[in-house]
Amino acid sequence: MISIKNILTISRFEAKVLWRNWFFRILAIAGIGFLTIFNIAVFSEADVPRWAFLSNSWMMPYASLVLISIPQAAAVVFLATGLIKKDKKVDTNEVFFVRPISNLDYVLGKALALFKLFFLLNLIFVSISLIFNITSPYTTFEPLTYVLYPLLTSMPTIMFTTGISFLLVTILKNQPISIVLLLGLAGVQLIYYFDQFSNILDFVGFRLPMFTSDIAGFQDMEFALIQRSFYFILGIAFLFMTAFLLDRLSSHKTTKILTGAIGLAVLAFSSIIMLRLWDMRQDPIELRAQMVSLNGQWAEEPNISILSHSIDLELSENEIMGNSAMLVKNNTTETLNQIYFSLNPGLKIDEVLVNGQSVSAEKTLHIVSITKGFSLAPAQEMNVELKYSGTIQESAAHLEVDEERYESPLEYFTFSLQKKYAFLQSDYVLLTKDVMWYPDTQIGYSPKTPKQERLSFIDFQLKVKTHEGQMAISQGESVVKDNTYEFQPEYPLSQISLAVGDYVKKEIMVDSIEYAIYHYRDHDFFADHLDQLPDTLSSLITDLSNEYEDAQKISYPFKRLQFVETPLQFSAYTKVYETHQAYLQPETVFWPEKGGDIRQLDLRMQLRDMNNQAKSQNQTLTDKQKQANVFNDLIKRVITKQIGANYTFDGYNQDDADYSIFPNYYTYNTGFVSEEWGLLNRSIANYLVNEKQAQRDFSRNRNGISFTEECNDLMRESSLNEIVSEAEFNKIQKSIELKSEYLFSYLGQLVGEPNLKAFLYEWISAHNHQLTHYEDLRTALLNEFNLDIDPIIQKVYSETSQPAFEILELQKYEILDGDRKRYQILTKIKNSGDNDGVIEIIFDNKDNSDGEFYRGKVNEETETEVEGQLSLIKKGETKELGFILDEKPNNITINTLISRNIPSKITMPFGTLSKRENATMFEGERLATEDKELAFTEVIVDNEDENFSSFSPIKPTYLKAYLDSRKTTEQKYYGEWDRPYSKWLATTGSEYFGTVIRSAHFTRSGSGEKVASWTPEIKEAGFYDLYTYMKGKNQDAYSGNDSNGKQYFYHYIIKHADGEDNINYNISNAEPGWNYLGSYYFNEEGGSISLTDECDLRTVYADAIKWVKQ
């Protein structure tokens, strides 16, 4: 049935034919050219490559093969369908059909030909990588990667694609249709099932996690191997089916039947593999569901608290053997005859001792329950010892994370990384409390009792026996004897973690705190770049720490701060009830392998930028200064967050890694236990954390309104509890943040902002390393301020009504106060909404004209941000606020926190300030009288009003119409990035006119067909001055302000009582706000003003028009 000789013969000659095929040659040259350029651009020293591209020794061939995988599959489809099709053009094939070969010889021979060529091509691809790899002075060379990745990526792809192409073209007997179908299939996979189902359907291996860690090696080889084998074997099955269905008489009937039968058998085998894959994906999901449901059963059961916990751990291969000796206490009010612990479902209980007596225990999934051999009265203590052994099931971690987030990829450039929550390998171990590697009395998430209270701070001790040459890292002072590490934390902790591996420690003592970096052997890439720092490091750290503690007003509560390198795959989630991710542990920050993709750890690039920056600013900096700047930038941006990110898309990527050190000041240090207010801890943390926000948020540019406003909208419909249990995670996060900010801003207004903060800081400092009860806090606040916070918390968390603020007046003066120049800002703000509200007013001296939003500077000077001033404006009130400033302000920002306002944060430039001498100044706030009605002599039509209309005769493009038809939600406002071609759309922003909602209509400029019109209701005939509301010079468009001096115009058509005027209005000198348009006679019939879309700028805005009677 199979003749190897025939197969080899056919493959040899067909390979020759393919090799001479121009299409193949073009593809091959294109592929080689593309990869060469890619390697030069990304990995070579032609420019400074990113450290993240060089740091991992598995990266180079993998990146090339992954990038080429999709085009390669498409090329195989084209060539394979051409190779097997039967058509008149190669009728000489017929003479080979009557040769003594079997159908299988024929099909396999052709497939082998294709396979050989693409194998060679892939060899060239990886050779390109190899050349760049071995010539790069910064990366390491890992030979295995050059074998492993071609086998795992390209080979199964080629086999599968060849098989399915052969089969389809044999069945359909039509090459073009087959190609269209196959490319469609690939498209469906890429568009609809991208990153779905654990990438089971990813037949090209584009997103299947196969990136390898230099610390922990290839993660989940089993899944990758099985997934790739599935496609390889399926490809083979398809080849057999092709031979079976081939339009050629087989050697014999039985041969044909046998070929078909083997094809079916291989197909069945591949189906079994697929089922196994499905189970591998499904099992963890099911386990999680079961655990969550079990949590629900135990959530309300009273339990003991652990006072001290001594863990003795032995590591063997992929298992641990542990012995936990605990002193527990009954802190409840009833006698306990049942106690329980949580422990990873992969660990089994070997023995349980209560007060030294062996008792039986039952373990269901992760719950160990003990019901016999004791009775524990309230306040009574007893000793419990648990012996356990086994593996760690990672899927038990982060149960509060829903399936979608759990299965979402861990992005690393274009790769998706295997998400790991723990490592337990003979060469590497990383365990955090999230995987329940030691017994605890706190059970995890269940929707019934979503809040996870912290129950206790425990006196831990840990003894770990490691393998030869490995270092163990945990909390507390460590004592090493042979291979045994003993850790003794100096204070009670809420949790401990453990990392074991070939670590090297670098440490420094500064102000009695030990700062240590634990990096993997040979991973000290930073040492060369920061070689000048050692003797100044201590003062750098002191400065950074002082800066942070000044901002936070809490002292670091631990004796050490350790930065531990962890594999790239180590993954964590943002939590609802806590402010930390698993990257932060008590005393510990887990930083990613060789810095991962953290830009600030790309020290070479940072130093280069530092050089460029110094050059462009004509600064002369020593190497030492440069390194110090780079070091400061790293710490301030990543760890202390005293420099905000350059930009963000609020609401996206909520689970991005956060290495902020703040949890060590709050979450791991103290906390409030509250039965009722599960979110209180989070709210307080949120209020106290003093981190710099991103300088720009682009969510409005994308969505039309900011993410805050989206959440405000949601909070008008649902209470916080409803949001927490139902909304999307990013909205939960933001809503909690906003509510927390509002709650404490509100409380601050009631008792005095500085008083409240000082009270809370003092409370925390007095309760380091312990929990306190909410009731105690409540009572203390009541005593101190005579204020019961309980009803306020209740109201804020549950209310849905919101204030709405109208800025009625904004006056600004430069006042000569003797010799001194001072600045008086007066504003009148009305709350016209249906709830009390708090506003925060911030002035800044920032000059926005440098245009450098996008490219961050290394260690840029933090803006001296004046702290915001809060003001409570009750429902229906109008307040006049006065500010006296010593420095000339450029902008005022009014943050309305939770309100109906869009934008919720209004920033307005002051422009030129009018001068006054020796005028009386007012500072503070006072209730204002009813604001005066708009004079009847003034008429304003805004784009939000019904007297505004827009018209467009232009049909959208087919693509746009299709995309619009797919939108499921009604959208009122659109981002400016969504520049409409065929109609006028509304967008929002501080720079537009409006009372509560500041918006304008905008459209892509055109030839004058699209028109926006304002129609006033004129009550009194007469001459009117017309004003149009502008964003500023050339509507702030970049192209108009790039100093080329070109003038731009808007085309207005004014219909007045005397007829119609066409005006080309020069907008190149426009001021932000009202700009004079002209004076015309209007009578009661009204008339109108229209703006066409004719303009040399790319966008035309239609905002508001004002008629002022002369």
Partner 1 sequence: MNIQITGLTKTYPNGYTAIKDVNLEIGSGMFGLLGPNGAGKSSFMRILVTAQQATSGTILMDGMDINEHRQKIRTRIGYLPQDFTFFSKLKTWEFLDYAAQLSTSLKKKERIIKVDQLLDQVGLLDVRERLANKLSGGMKRRLGIAQALIGEPRLLVIDEPTTGLDPEERIRFRNILSDLSQKDVTIILSTHIVGDISSTCHNMAMLNKGEVAFKGSPEGMIEKVRGHVWQVNLNDEEFNKIKTEYSVVSTIPIDGKWEVQLIAENSPHPKATHANPNLEHAYVYFMENQLGVSLV
Q: Which residues bind partner 1 (CB under 8 A)?
A: 5-6, 9-10, 13-14, 16-17, 20-21, 88-102, 248-252
Q: Are residues 1012 and 1001 in contact, defined by beta-carbon separation less than 8 angstroms?
A: yes
| Closer residue to partner 1 (CB): 251 or 800 | 251
Using CA atoms, how far apart are residues 105 and 673, in angstroms rounded to an integer?
A: 74
Query: Per the omega criterion (within 30 degrees of 0), is the bond before 956 cis?
Result: no
Q: What torsion, rounded to 10 degrees, do the Cα atoms 217, 223, 229, 235 define?
A: -130
| Closer residue to partner 1 (CB): 101 or 216 | 101
The DSSP annotation for 1019-1034 comes to SS-EEEEEEEEESSGG
Taking the complex as a whole, the smallest distance from the CB of residue 88 to partner 1 amounts, in Å, to 7
| Closer residue to partner 1 (CB): 87 or 403 | 87
| Closer residue to partner 1 (CB): 103 or 1088 | 103
Taking the complex as a whole, the smallest distance from the CB of residue 252 to partner 1 amounts, in Å, to 6
Taking the complex as a whole, the smallest distance from the CB of residue 566 to partner 1 amounts, in Å, to 55
- The 10 Å CB-count burial string (b at 16+, else e) for 687-707 is bbbebbeebebbbbbbbbbbb
Taking the complex as a whole, the smallest distance from the CB of residue 242 to partner 1 amounts, in Å, to 19
Using CA atoms, how far apart are residues 311 and 325, in angstroms rounded to an integer?
A: 6
Taking the complex as a whole, the smallest distance from the CB of residue 248 to partner 1 amounts, in Å, to 8
| Closer residue to partner 1 (CB): 109 or 444 | 109
Taking the complex as a whole, the smallest distance from the CB of residue 259 to partner 1 amounts, in Å, to 14
Using alpha carbons, select from 1076, 1079, 1077, 1082 the residue that is nearest to residue 1058.
1082
Taking the complex as a whole, the smallest distance from the CB of residue 17 to partner 1 amounts, in Å, to 4
Taking the complex as a whole, the smallest distance from the CB of residue 74 to partner 1 amounts, in Å, to 22
Using CA atoms, how far apart are residues 959 and 962, in angstroms rounded to an integer?
A: 5
Taking the complex as a whole, the smallest distance from the CB of residue 105 to partner 1 amounts, in Å, to 9
| Closer residue to partner 1 (CB): 13 or 763 | 13
| Closer residue to partner 1 (CB): 17 or 124 | 17
| Closer residue to partner 1 (CB): 154 or 250 | 250
| Closer residue to partner 1 (CB): 103 or 1034 | 103
Dihedral sign (CA 321, 327, 330, 336): positive
Taking the complex as a whole, the smallest distance from the CB of residue 255 to partner 1 amounts, in Å, to 8
Taking the complex as a whole, the smallest distance from the CB of residue 271 to partner 1 amounts, in Å, to 32
Q: Are residues 336 and 376 in contact, defined by beta-carbon separation less than 8 angstroms?
A: yes
| Closer residue to partner 1 (CB): 102 or 456 | 102
Secondary structure, 3-state, 805-846: EEEEEEEEEEEEECCEEEEEEEEEEEECCCCCEEEEEEEECC
For the beta sheet containing 357-359, the strands, ordered from the edge strand earlier in sequence to the opposite edge, are 357-359, 347-354, 381-390, 319-329, 305-316, 459-465, 484-488, 477-481
Cα 394 to Cα 590, 903, 971: the distances in Å are 18, 43, 41
| Closer residue to partner 1 (CB): 113 or 643 | 113
Using CA atoms, how far apart are residues 714 and 709, in angstroms rounded to an integer?
A: 9
Q: Are residues 197 and 109 in contact, defined by beta-carbon separation less than 8 angstroms?
A: no
Taking the complex as a whole, the smallest distance from the CB of residue 78 to partner 1 amounts, in Å, to 16
| Closer residue to partner 1 (CB): 1 or 365 | 1
Taking the complex as a whole, the smallest distance from the CB of residue 236 to partner 1 amounts, in Å, to 23
φ, ψ dihedrals at 98, nearest 5° = -95, 10
Q: Are residues 626 and 605 in contact, defined by beta-carbon separation less than 8 angstroms?
A: no
| Closer residue to partner 1 (CB): 91 or 717 | 91
Taking the complex as a whole, the smallest distance from the CB of residue 68 to partner 1 amounts, in Å, to 25
Q: Are residues 278 and 269 in contact, defined by beta-carbon separation less than 8 angstroms?
A: no
| Closer residue to partner 1 (CB): 248 or 1004 | 248
The DSSP annotation for 327-339 comes to EEE--SSS-BS-E
Q: Are residues 850 and 1041 in contact, defined by beta-carbon separation less than 8 angstroms?
A: no
Where does residue 570 rank: exposed (0-12), middle (13-18), buried (19+ CB within 10 A)?
Answer: buried
The DSSP annotation for 533-574 comes to -HHHHHHHHHHHHHHHHHHH-S---SSEEEEEEE-TTB----
Taking the complex as a whole, the smallest distance from the CB of residue 265 to partner 1 amounts, in Å, to 23
Q: What share of the chain is helix, strand, coil (3-state, %, to 5)?
A: 40, 25, 35
Task: Tell me, rounded to whole angstroms, the distance of Cα 249 from its chain centroid.
Answer: 59
Q: Across the strands, what pairs with 986?
A: 973, 1001
Taking the complex as a whole, the smallest distance from the CB of residue 90 to partner 1 amounts, in Å, to 6
Structure-block tokens of residue 74: 């498409």
In this structure, the number of other CB atoms found within 10 A of the CB of residue 242 comes to 29
| Closer residue to partner 1 (CB): 109 or 501 | 109
Using alpha carbons, select from 430, 568, 562 the residue that is nearest to residue 505.
562
Using alpha carbons, select from 162, 150, 161 the residue that is nearest to residue 64.
150
For the beta sheet containing 999-1004, the strands, ordered from the edge strand earlier in sequence to the opposite edge, are 985-988, 999-1004, 1099-1102
| Closer residue to partner 1 (CB): 91 or 528 | 91
For residue 202, give the 3-state DSSP assignment: coil
Packed helices 22-43 and 4-19: angle between N→C axes, nearest 10 degrees: 70
Taking the complex as a whole, the smallest distance from the CB of residue 1097 to partner 1 amounts, in Å, to 57
| Closer residue to partner 1 (CB): 16 or 972 | 16
